[in-house]
Structure formats: C-alpha cells, structure tokens
Structure 1
Amino acid sequence: MSEIRVVDWSPGWAEQFEAVAAVLRDALAGIGSARVEHVGSTSVPGLAAKPILDIDVVVDAADVTGAVTALESVGYVHRGDLGVTGREAFYAPDEPRRHVYVCTAGTTNVRNHLAVRDVLRARDDLRDAYAAVKLALAADPAMDIETYIAGKSAVLQRVLEVSGEFTDDELAAIGRLNDATA
C-alpha cells in the first residue's frame, strides 16, 4: 500500500478550514497584521489532494513572536522553522489533520503557496495536470514523501512561471528546494 494517499477533492475541506480558521482568528485577534490563508491542494476546488489541510498564518515580521504565542495559547505545539526561514511550524491539537505555519509576509515561501493556490483555482488545465501527476505518483506502492514532493516539482514550476510573481532566481531556488528532497 502506498504511503501517500491522494483522494478526490472534498467540499468538506473548505468547511473544515473555516472552522479551524475561526479558532485561529480568535486567538490572533490582537495581532493586526495576521491573516489566515487556506493554501495547498485542499484549497483548490476540484483538485485531488492528500486529505490534510495546509494553513498559513501570514503576519508582518514584527508579529511572528506574538503569533507563535497566540497559537500556543490555543493548544498548538511550536516545532520551529524546520529549516525554512520565515516559516514557523506547529502540531495541531486536534482534528482535522492539518499543517499550520506562521509565515512572515512577503517571503518566497508564502508567496509560493499563495501563487500556486491562485493559479490552480484560475486554470483548470494546470489544476488537472497537477492532479494527474499527484495521482500517478500516489499510485506507486513504493512511493515515499520525498520522492512524491520531487515528482510534483516540474508541474509546480510551470504553475509558478504562469503566476508571473517570481524572478528567475526565485523560481530556480524553489525548484532546488523541491528537488532537494529526492
């Protein structure tokens, strides 16, 4: 059995996000720059995905510490940046399964997440191409997460190029990060 499980898109993901986001927004009420963004494949209607929400709490650099404290106050466990500058990761205290990050506004990482989401929401052809790659990779019973991430890299690079949001150097850096996992 494949370690990577990709399923058809579910409208329930948007509902799950809204429930989680309401708790996060309440916790972050004192941080003026905070906004809670549903990113990743579960945020794109019609896109097959691993059934795990991706949520970016985007804040100004001066508000990162306060945002980390706010999430801890509602049960999230801070995991550090996990090697990605400008992004603080958390374990969620309950269901649904999700990855939650506090991200510094304007960083390449958060711009990447938002650009991929926005392009895939707008371009059915790219959404469907991405879904096909993900489903094919997940169908391999020997698939591991590092190979899965690297296998998606080429189509994601196309999506990022279409976005027009990144310089050639930024695109190359994102590509290296994704390929480095292989």
Structure 2
Amino acid sequence: MRTKHVVVLPYDQKWNDEFNKIKDELLKELNGKVISIEHVGSTSVKGLSAKPIIDIDIVIKDYASFDEVLHGLNRLGYAYEGNLGIPGREAFKYENKPQFMIHHIYVCTKDSTELKRHILFRDYLRCHKKAVEEYSRIKEEAAALYPDNIEKYIEYKSPVIEKLYREAGIV
C-alpha cells in the first residue's frame, strides 16, 4: 500500500494564476507544436476544493507530433513516464521547478478519450454550482478521514465522481 499525505484546500484564485505561469513557460517551447494547453482537474474549477496540484493537458493533433513535443518538454526539464496505465494520456515528471506550484503534465491527442473526460468533467463542474458544492464536501471529508492514505481517499470520493460523471453524460 502506498501512503501519501492528502491535503484538500478551499479554492484559491492563485491556482489559475499558477496555471498561467506554467502555461507561459510551456508555450515558449511548444508554441506552434500543440493545439492547446488546458487547465484541467479540480484546481481549474472556481469554488472547488482541491489538492493544491495543477493538472495540465497538452493537446496535440496526433501521435505524429508527439516526438517534437516530447523533445520540447525534455528541454524544459520534463521527463517522459509513459502512459502510467491510462491509454491516450502520456505523463511527464519534473524535478527542481521551485518557481512553480506542484503540477502534473500530460500530453493527449485531440481525440483522446481521457482528454474528452477531463474537459467534459471540468466544464460540467464550471456550470453546476451544486455539483461543485457536493464534490468539495466529499473531497474534504475524504481528506479528513484518510489524510495518510491516497488510495482510501480516492475510494471514498469515487461514488460521487461516478454520480457526477453520469449527470455530465460522461459514462
């Protein structure tokens, strides 16, 4: 069993500012090589409590452009980790970027199922205040109940995520 301290904080506007700082660095290297750079995950939804980690999807046309983006990310200090068991989402890690908030970088093709799920869920939450309130509450409860067990945290909030996915038409 993997343990990781789980911290969930109330929404903070600085998360969007931090995303934009990271996006600006990415665009210096990747501009013209990608379709878009998307702020996804809980920190991308105003009012939603979240673990303070920025999730970023870099969108490419198809895998023909992946190597060029991979090399650009390498030049910026990101190392390729593979898809980590999630097809259609290529993960990257980094070390020593103290100028930025903790973040996750993923590269997805524009037709990726994972990208579509990220965008649909983000956009659904952005338009449904009650869903944001419900999801925030369950995430805060999960973090309080399982502060040192990320697997249990995820397990606890999964039924609400599945419910919200159904409401959003994702599943």
Common fold by TM > 0.5: yes
Q: Distance in 1 between matches of 2:73 and 2:6?
A: 28
- Structure-2 residue corresponding to 1:131: 136
Mapped to 2, the partners of 1:108 and 1:18 lie a distance apart of 25
Q: In the alignment, residue 46 of structure 1 is paired with which amino acid? A: G
Letter in 1 for 2:30: L
Counterparts of 1:14 and 1:113, CA distance in 2: 16
- In the alignment, structure 1 residue 148 sits paired with structure 2 residue 153: yes
Q: Is the 8 A contact 1:137 1:143 kept in 2?
A: no
Alpha-carbon shift at residue 34 of structure 1 (Å): 2.6
SS state of the match for residue 154, structure 1? helix
Over the residues paired in the alignment, what is the CA RMSD in angstroms? 1.6
C-alpha deviation, 1:141, in angstroms: 4.4
Q: Distance in 1 between matches of 2:108 and 2:94?
A: 16
Correspondence for 1:56: 57
Give the deviation of 1:89 after TM superposition.
Answer: 0.8
Larger deviation, residues 141-150 vs 116-125: 141-150
Partner in structure 1 of residue 44 of structure 2: 43
1:133 shift after superposition: 0.6
Using CA pairs under 8 Å that are at least 6 residues apart, name the structure with larger relative contact order, 1 or 2: 2
Contact 1:58 1:102 in 2 (8 A): yes
Q: 5+ residue gaps in structure 2?
A: none
Map of 2:111 onto structure 1: 106
Q: CA deviation at 1:142?
A: 5.5
CA distance in 1, matches of 2:30, 2:105: 14
Residues 7 and 147, structure 2, Cα contact 8 Å, conserved in 1: no
- Residue 101 of structure 2: SS of its match in structure 1? coil
One-letter amino acid of the counterpart of residue 103, structure 1: C
% identity of equivalent residues: 36
Query: Could you report, residue by residue, the CA deviation over 1:8-56 in whole angstroms, capped at 9, with x for unpaired residues?
Result: 110000100001001111211231x431000000000111100110001
Separation in structure 2 between the aligned mates of residue 121 and residue 134 of structure 1, nearest angstrom: 17
Match of 2:164 in 1: 159
Partner of 2:15: 13
Structure 1 runs (4+) deviating above 4 angstroms are none
CA distance in 2, matches of 1:58, 1:150: 29
8 Å CA contact 1:8–1:48 kept in 2: the answer is: yes
Q: 1:180 aligns to what?
A: none
The one-character-per-residue Cα deviations of 1:76-110 (angstroms, maximum 9, x if unpaired) are 11111111111111113413100111112222211
The whole-number CA distance in structure 2 between the counterparts of 1:156 and 1:139 is 18
Structure 1, unaligned stretches of length 5 or more?
172-182
- How many residue pairs match? The answer is 164
